[in-house]
């Protein structure tokens, strides 16, 4: 099912408002962009605390693809110095809020990696982290969070 998406300008406004309300590290100078990337009207939404570049780190960021009525969380990362403070989940909550405001039925992702101790040993997979926070399995690799 396809939804009527707001304009890219409206999506950027919604994204900024959701980040301001949900994510304590958001600052007005952080970058927010959205662009249509298909003839069907699918939209990419990006957030970065440092700007958009394909070379080097982008700081705290996420990339979303809106396809039909589904928000695909392509990537999400919190700067390492901010980890372990509950801020990562605040960033996920921002994504949930953006998705809901745009009209998507759910956020879906393919979680990879996880959380590591100081010796580099994984203490929890990202999949388990999300399943503990009301995401549900879609299949062997994907999990989903209902926004409505």
Tell me the per-residue pLDDT of 100-120, one tens digit each, with 9 for 90 and over.
Answer: 999 999 999 999 888 888 898
Q: What is the pTM of this model?
A: 0.91
Task: Give the integer Cα–Cα distance in Å for 137 and 80.
Answer: 27
Task: Give the integer Cα–Cα distance in Å for 95 and 72.
Answer: 10
144 — pLDDT class (breaks 50, 70, 90) = very high
Q: Which CATH architecture has domain 8-108?
A: 3-Layer(aba) Sandwich (3.40)
pLDDT of residue 113: 87
Residue 98, H or E segment: helix 87-102
Task: Give the integer Cα–Cα distance in Å for 98 and 45.
Answer: 10
For 85-94, the pLDDT digits (tens) are 889 999 999 9
Give the three-state DSSP class for 53: coil
For 33-74, the pLDDT digits (tens) are 999 998 888 999 999 998 766 555 568 999 999 999 999 999
Pair 107, 100: CB distance under 8 Å: no
Domain boundary assignment for the chain: 8-108
Pair 71, 94: CB distance under 8 Å: no
């Amino acid at each position: 099912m396809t939804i009527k998406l707001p304009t890219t300008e409206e999506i950027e406004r919604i994204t900024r408002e959701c980040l301001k309300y949900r994510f304590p590290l958001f600052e007005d100078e952080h970058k927010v962009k959205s662009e249509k990337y298909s003839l069907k009207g699918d939209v990419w939404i990006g957030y970065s605390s440092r700007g958009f570049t394909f070379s080097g780190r982008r700081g705290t960021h996420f990339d979303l693809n809106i396809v039909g009525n589904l928000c695909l969380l392509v990537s999400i990362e919190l700067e390492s110095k901010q980890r372990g403070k509950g801020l990562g989940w605040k960033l996920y909550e921002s994504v949930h809020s953006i998705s809901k405001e745009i009209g998507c039925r759910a956020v879906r992702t393919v979680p990879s990696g996880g959380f590591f101790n100081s010796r580099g040993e994984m203490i929890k997979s990202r999949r388990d982290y999300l399943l503990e926070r009301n995401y549900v399995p879609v299949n062997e690799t994907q999990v989903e969070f209902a926004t409505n």
